[in-house]
Amino acid sequence: TAWFFRFSTTELKHLAIGTLLVLGVGLSIVPQLSMPVAVETLVVPALIFTLSFISHEIAHKLSAQHYGLWAEFRLTLIGAFITLLSALTPIFKVIAPGAVMIAGPVSQKAMGRTAVAGPLTNIALSTMFILSVSFLKTLFPFSSFLWASIFGAWVNAFIALFNLIPFGMLDGWKVFRWNKMAWGVAFLASAALAIFTFSLLP
């Protein structure tokens, strides 16, 4: 279709601002974790945190465009403000600068598959980070990058699990309405990953 895998100038601007806001939250969260103190321990996990969020949104976009729908990321005023506030305060943390907006005739199947694309991306990333943790534990047991990989595994599992809650505007409700079996498998997988990766945190 004409919109297949395309990014408009407006969308790129919104993505850039959203990325900076999420990065700010990542930089505010990482120092609160019990990780070794080093520059890469702060920067790398914050970048992983940001890329995990952006990958989730891009997965929604590409899936929607695959079905011939118009799909672009847009900031929301309240979401951007809350995310900025989260970056500036030590306790309050909500990451929702915007979302992928979709338009066009869409079936429940296409909507469900588009919704599950984001969490599945985070499940895949969490699994990849777990594999890297196993590798780093063997070769570099005290490396700062080991802790960054553990953080990446956990944060992706958490993003997937949270978004798969079948409630309101979350992805989970759209997936649940489309295919309860698919929702159940994805939800249980993300829950198992969240529990396992949480046990790895220092």
Give catalytic residues, as residue numbers: 57
Strand partners, 93: none
Of 153, 197, 151, the residue nearest 27 (C-alpha): 151
Distances (CA, A) of 23 to 11, 83, 105, 141: 18, 10, 34, 27
In 3D space, the residue among 157, 126, 28, 44 whose CA is nearest the CA of residue 83 turns out to be 28
Strand, coil or helix: 71:
strand
Task: Report d(CA 129, CA 65) in Å as an integer.
Answer: 28
